[in-house]
Chain A
Amino acid sequence: MRCVRCGKDTPYRSRPKDERCSCGEPFAFEPKYRHPLADAAFAAAIDRVSAGGSLRWLPVHLYYEVCRRIDRRRLLHRRVVPIDHAGFDRLWSRWTGAHGWPPTALADDDALTASPTQLPPDVADYAVDRAVVTDSDATLRLLLANNFHVDNRCAVLTVGGEPSGVSEAVLAMLRRSEQLTVLALHDASVAGSTMASRLLFEDQWFRDLVADGTATVVDLGLRPDQAKQFRACFLRTDQRPASDAILSKKDHRWLSRYRLELAAVLPATLMGRLQRTFTAPIGAVADAFAGPVAGGDGDDGFG
């Protein structure tokens, strides 16, 4: 078992009772008996999720990466998660207890309420041409913590109106744009499958802008047809899609059984995909009348 600090390998027979490497660094896990992963594998998962320490992330993102690794290690080849959230939480507290909170990890209990900051009067003159709307608070936090909004000059919101205190001002700036691109990002779930059409058809969102051609809504996912790219990340659900939902039979069946969270996508992959969609010319316009809400430019690139 390799130590995460000094790299020395301590075989099982030599592992002391106090569960430490000879350099003093504790071991969080004992894979022979109790835990699904060794420290080195957990550290590798953190390295992957943080893109080598260059990105911030939430524990839920690590959860899915750990699920993938456990599935690989046990040769399960399953779609569904091998451990549940509670099981991961236990692993996570063992890890932080032994090695401390990783510097790139974010706490997921910060409030999302922004106190309206002192803004100069001419903010009213700005128009923002890009927006990412998501149904996942975790995704919102991820993007903001990594300054995605600053680097890509785009607004970030949830359908629930987070961050509260800011979303009204931001929506006003979006409405001022002469050519708005909205990327919809949601879980592959019953609620998520309706999100893009909400953006297209609800007055409080972009119905009028889409109607007069100044706004384009692109549904990047996650959708059931993209789910096959994910291994060991499905959650089970007992929800059913609404009876009037516009879904194919396959999608309907999938959504009745499973749920796939956005957090299953690696942060680097997610942000890279968003960026590429913003900078590439938009190939397919989201057309709600062409069956299920159309995807992006046909190349999904998730998972």
Chain B
Amino acid sequence: MASLLRWRERLGAFRPPAGHVVTPAPGRLAVPAGLSLRPVGRIAGAAWAPGGMAAVGAFRACLGATAETLVVEGRPGAVSVRRVSGDSDDGCAVPMVADWDACWLDDRPVRSLLDWWSIVGADCLASVEGAFALAWLGPDGAVHLARDAPGERTLYYAPVGGGVLFASTIHALIATGRVDRVVDVVGLASYLSCAYVPGSRSLVEGVREVLPGEQVDIRPASIRCRAFWRHPGDETTGTVSLQSERLARERLRVYLERAVARRLPTISEPVAATLSGGIDSSAVVAIARRLHDGPLHTYAASFGARYPNELAYSSLVATHCATSHHIVEMTPKAVLRNLDAVVSLLSKPIGDPLTVPNAVLFREASRQARIVLNGEGGDPCFGGPKNLPLVLAQLYAGVTPGHERFSWERAYLRVHQKAYDDLGRALAPDIAAVLATGLLEESLHPYFEDPRWSTLVNRLMEMNVVLKGAHHILVKVDQISAAFGVLGRSPLFDRSVMEQALSLPPQMKLRGSTEKYILKQAVADLLPRAVVDRPKSGMRVPVEGWFAGPLGRHARERLLDGLAPSGLIRRDYLLDLLSTSEHRYRRRRGVKIWLLITLEAWLRTVLAAEPPVRSSTATNRP
């Protein structure tokens, strides 16, 4: 497609704004340069790539000491495999590499690569729960990639010149120099609409992501993707009796406790947890307190005295559960100053201001513990504010203008409340023309046609889990926690918990206007009433007013000097967004500005980045 933009050609025109160089400064988040510090390593690999050796070298340089690499050379019928781990080139015990954490097959923990090898040999990946991303060589020379069902770990892959490259991070793929640095325009439109890039597309053309619960089989002539685990759906929608509700509640409690237990260490070492004070993180902390003998450290973010309510709830839970509670204060300026460092960790940009506070909390927690629990998963599995607006959109769809095809999909993108309605005005004309055919909406269509779901609530929840869960929440947890050498674990995304939550009748999740009804019932005895009865909350970063003051100047520089020359977003749209004219209706400019400065930071620090330089005498990091 001739209309697509070649990033490299514009690199000359594109200079980072002054004052935003990522160097450690007092009080600034110092993110270590290597992209992998955590106990189990990252994956990189190359298959059939001519010049495979050079590609492998680039991978290792980029990923740091604990990368594991699988190199497959030759043609089918004459294939040789080498497994390279760290700096050493050991013999190939099994042709497989794995990035995993807290995995269980039935009731036994998965302990080693040999366990994984027998699992894939017996084709029982669907029975494994936990976080994993695998790459292995099949008997016929095919390369297989697999990703766990919730999506706690991930893999990116790119077919290149007769072969394929794959890695845990897009940084590694870009660093090989064999992937063109061209922006995928559908990915760009997805990002602007959702604040993340859902599905298998990335923001780099040609680079795909393995979907949650998917296995990708790569052969010379074909790439085949198939789901090895899917939720069975909600075929039966029976009526809800008090009896069935009580049973559901008890069963959920059992699964929740097991999910937390499997993510706690077996010894009494200190464990950390993020605690916003909402029902999700509070439930996890309360259960962890019951099951864990050692110290429990909890962390909450604060943006200053103007938002005391959030802190009151988290402190209440911390006292109730007798944890060591740490409140981390952040100013808007500090959040913005650390944006580049955090965004540079992400393989796909995430335009949620929470990423920076998340990173700061991980950093603090890393001082005390190597395992950090969180409450992620409560919204996708048990609640979700998007449902009602979507229903209203569909009810009125016949009346509103422009209701041709893809009405559900358009409504779904609109209710994210980001920049979907601005796409026509915001994108460069050639990109907008490509998207005018409906490519973005079409990519969502299969989800709305899926016959497994008969109720809207459960359909939307599953979409939330496989899209937002796997491409926003869990990758964010994984990629940011890894940088600080901690293991981020999300019990509410446990597969059994998720599976049960999605099967429950809608009335147990949405009771009148109360969301997450059944979750609240399941843990009501563990928490103070005030926390259980609290209306919809959740950590929110108050960006709306940030860009009116001095931060507006930073935003201006980043957008006009940094983003506009890239040719992706129209300059007049950016100018309009930055203007302080009152003469607009509900612009949500803070959200959109944040979205765009994150995009600019990602383009600069990830897509346009040079691979880090490693000296030959660098030692392995622990």
Contacts and interface: CB of A to CB of B under 8 A. Distances in A.
Interface string A109-121: 0101111110111
Contacts of A112: 399
B457 A147 contact: no
B388 A121 contact: no
Interface in A80-116: 106, 110, 112-116
B586 to A, nearest CB: 7
User: Which of A55, A121, A125, A163 neighbours the largest number of chain B CB atoms within 10 Å of its CB?
Assistant: A125
A178 interface: yes
Contact of B583 (A52, A114, A121, A156): A52
Interface of B: 237, 387-401, 407, 411, 414-415, 417, 421, 425, 454-457, 459, 506-507, 510, 512-513, 576, 581, 583-587
Given A54-B587, A121-B455, A149-B393, A115 B398 contact: yes
9 contacts: A51-B584, A56-B401, A123-B395, A127-B512, A144-B400, A150-B415, A169-B395, A268-B584, A268-B585
Contacts of B397: 114, 117
Contact of A176 (B392, B401, B512): B512
A150 B585 CA distance: 15
Contacts of A272: 585-586
Interface residues of A, number: 50
A97 B421 CA distance: 28
Contacts of A151: 389, 417, 586
A178 B512 CA distance: 7
Contact of A128 (B392, B394, B581): B392
Given A52-B576, A117-B395, 20 more contacts: A48-B583, A52-B583, A114-B395, A116-B398, A117-B394, A119-B394, A122-B237, A122-B455, A122-B457, A125-B457, A126-B391, A144-B399, A150-B390, A150-B411, A151-B389, A151-B586, A166-B395, A176-B512, A268-B583, A271-B585
A98 B484 CA distance: 63
Given A52-B584, A121-B455, A153 B388 contact: yes
B586 A125 contact: no
Interface of A: 48, 51-56, 106, 110, 112-117, 119-123, 125-129, 144-147, 149-151, 153-156, 163, 165-166, 169-170, 176-179, 267-268, 271-272, 275
A101 to B, nearest CB: 13
Contacts of B392: 128, 149-150, 153-155
A170 B395 contact: yes
Closest 4 CB pairs of A and B: A114-B398, A268-B585, A122-B455, A120-B456
A147 B401 CA distance: 10
Nearest to B397: A117
B584 A165 contact: no
Contact of A123 (B391, B398, B407, B513): B391
Given A51-B583, A54-B585, A114 B388 contact: no
A137 B400 CA distance: 13
A197 B421 CA distance: 37
Contact of A55 (B387, B411, B585): B585
Nearest to A152: B389
